[in-house]
Amino acid sequence: MQDVVLAMLAKEPAHGYELRSRMRGALGPLGDAMNAGQVYVTLSRLAKAGLVTSERSEGLPDRPDRRVYALTAAGQQRVAAWLSEVNWPKPDLAEFHLKLVAAATARLADPVTLVDAQRREVLRRLRDAQRAALDRAVDPVAGLLLEGVVLRLRADLEWLEACERMWTERARSGGKAGA
């Protein structure tokens, strides 16, 4: 969650409510379950770690003052490191999805390039798992687990291919989804 919030701030400074709205929009119906307090707790932790700064922004007459958060140099470095990180498989596909959205929105990286890097890692892991599954010395119970890993990695590859298709089409159509 911390890396996602940092990446969302890379485009421009924002207050917590804006960040939550961006993430909910990027996640669609899955974003409805996002706890509003989680964004603010995350921002507080990032500020304590020196990755973001904040300043009070005056609200409108009918709205309270808000804290606007911005990345520090250390926060920008962490975003760059997170974008180049290849750590598949991870149980939370939503985080990778948000990485693609944040990278595209803030023009931090090409989402298709990020997908390609992840695909190479998944293919490497798939080859390793398939080799291990073919080993006749593997206990059948452990072999069942290896079969599950292979099936999961194949599904992940299919999803990454769908991500690549969508982001490639989006780039061709000038950034409009579904166009």
pLDDT in single tens digits along all 179 residues of the chain = 889 899 999 989 998 888 988 888 888 777 777 787 888 999 999 999 999 999 887 765 666 668 899 999 999 999 999 998 887 656 578 888 889 999 998 889 999 999 999 999 999 999 998 888 887 777 888 788 888 889 999 999 999 999 999 999 998 988 665 43
What's residue 179's pLDDT? 38
Return the pLDDT at 67.
Answer: 87
How many angstroms separate the Cα of 89 from the Cα of each of 31, 123, 161? 21, 11, 15
The whole-number pLDDT of residue 117 equals 93
What pLDDT score does 17 carry? 87
In order of 7, 33, 140, 155, 163, the CA distances from 132 in angstroms are 37, 38, 12, 19, 28
Q: How far, in Å, CA of 159 to CA of 179, rounded? A: 20
Residue 8 CA to its chain's centroid (Å): 10
The pLDDT assigned to 178 comes to: 44
By three-state DSSP, how is residue 148 classified?
Answer: helix
Predicted pLDDT at 47: 95
